[in-house]
A and B are shown apart, each in its own frame.
Chain A
Amino acid sequence: MHHARKSKKKAKPKKKPAKSSSPPAKALRLTFSYDGDKVKLISQQRTEMIVPPSDPVTGFRQQKGFWAEVKSESDKTLYRQVMHNPTRNDAEVFPDPDTPGAGISREPAPQRKGVFVVVVPDTEKGNEVTLSRSAPDETGPESGIRALASKPATEILRFKLKK
């Protein structure tokens, strides 16, 4: 009689959970338009790609600048991307090599409009995205179109992530 040999299946080693710092391979490409100070979301597109690791998600509330955050349902910051303000009201101008000693400079560009893109991880926990920006300092020594941001950033846009 032939006995089928019962083989005990070797238990597969449990997969180690992914480190929290390892970036997910799924992402959402968020496209925004801006016209002066106004920023709006145009589209959210799912794509399979690695997203660069997060910038610090704590200790930044009093900082100035521009950033995007992915928030959980309880409003915890899960991912943050610090950006060079894409909506700023001035532009970088590069020197003519015929002008000796000239360096990069900035020129006011108050009528700027355009689009910018932020790619964020597409995870189950991600619920909303916020954009934060410091406003130009209108009370400083250089007010008007040459004013620069100096105060902590405040939230300018919040929306739900596509599920």
Chain B
Amino acid sequence: MGTSDGQVLGSTKIVDAGPATARWNVVITSEGYRSDEMALFAADAQQFADTLLRTAPFDRLKAAINIFRVDVTSTDSGAKDPKKCGGTGAKPRTYFDASYCTNGIRRLLVAKNSRVIKVINKQVPQWHVAFLSVNSQIGGGSGGGVATFTKFFAGIDVAIHEMGHTAFGLADEYEYYSNCFESGHNKHSGSEPSQPNITTNKNRDTTKWRNLIQATTPVPTTKNADCNKCDPQPSPVAVGTIGLFEGADYYHCNVYRPEFDCRMRTVTQPFCAVCQQVIVKKLTPFLPT
């Protein structure tokens, strides 16, 4: 198991915006692709790159972004899928030992991230954010130091959501922990969160994204009438309106998000304007002067 089960072939710049020392460098590495499947990985990595660069605001920041593919072969295809979580029991021999069922959670797919980081440090020393593409059709993934995703439905959308956390410090904007009717996560009672896209401050003049709230938008924009569960009301304002919508950061009440929906709340949605503003601010220094 491990590095004896494959080989690091090298890296290829698949999106070239300039020297790595001056651009924001995204790296996507293969896991669970046999040597005869590397063309498939090249296609998967290209699909990831195309999707990312079509996603706002990255579509406006193309000149700032390099994307590298790091080709690593494995002896077998896929990832371990333990039976104890209801999986198939498959135990493929792969370079980074990716496995579902981490911590007993069926879809929590984690690889040996220290090994991934060691490889990409050598292949692309200037990397900023790293992804591991796992050659599996079973849904799963994880965030953290290296975001891991599969070829399953919305896998790339999940990866871009995870990038919102890893690269830009964005918070989750969904308003529950495990489901909408759980107890214990009713009212956010904590300090102001450090993340830029959630707040406990409902003062129009001092809240974090005050510069984006129109004078005509009510604040708070939505209020949850029953803090025992998620707010079921549809948005009372037009899509794209920026305000203070109650419910975020795993709590039903007392914490606000900037728009009714966002990729940090629903992975298939676009990033909201506040999240986009954060991303643009972080990547502007990487644009050519």
Binding site for B on A (CB under 8 A): 22-23, 25, 29, 31, 33, 45, 47-50, 52-53, 55, 60, 62-67, 81-84, 86, 90-94, 96-97, 103-112, 114-117, 119, 134, 137, 140-142, 146, 148-153
Contact = CB atoms under 8 A, between A and B. Distances in A.
Interface in B182-210: 183-186, 188-196
Interface stretch (B28-36, B53-61, B113-121): B113-121
B48 interface: no
A49 B193 contact: no
A33 B176 CA distance: 29
Return the 10 tightest CB-CB contacts between A and B, nearest first. A150-B190, A142-B184, A65-B194, A84-B165, A82-B169, A116-B145, A109-B103, A49-B126, A63-B194, A64-B191
Contacts of B153: 97
B184 A153 contact: no
B281 A107 contact: no
B267 A115 contact: no
Contacts of B20: 49
- Main SS class of interface, A: loop
Contacts of B191: 62-64, 134, 150-152
A129 B261 CA distance: 36
A138 to B, nearest CB: 13
27 contacts: A25-B22, A29-B121, A31-B117, A45-B121, A47-B125, A49-B20, A50-B23, A50-B24, A50-B286, A52-B128, A53-B282, A60-B194, A63-B193, A66-B194, A82-B196, A84-B165, A91-B102, A93-B108, A103-B266, A107-B103, A109-B102, A110-B103, A115-B145, A142-B184, A142-B185, A148-B185, A151-B191
Most chain A CB atoms below 10 A, which of B114, B183, B194:
B194
Nearest to A142: B184
B186 A141 contact: yes
B108 A109 contact: yes
B117 A64 contact: no
B154 interface: yes
Contact of A65 (B183, B195, B285): B195
A150 B189 contact: yes
B25 to A, nearest CB: 7
B190 A137 contact: yes
Interface in B141-170: 141-145, 153-154, 158, 161-162, 165-167, 169-170
A52 B188 CA distance: 30
Given A94-B158, A137-B190, 12 more contacts: A48-B126, A50-B21, A52-B24, A67-B169, A83-B166, A84-B170, A84-B171, A91-B103, A93-B107, A106-B178, A140-B189, A146-B184
B116 to A, nearest CB: 9
B150 to A, nearest CB: 10
Nearest to A91: B108
Contacts of B45: none
Contacts of A146: 177-178, 184
Contacts of A106: 177-178, 250
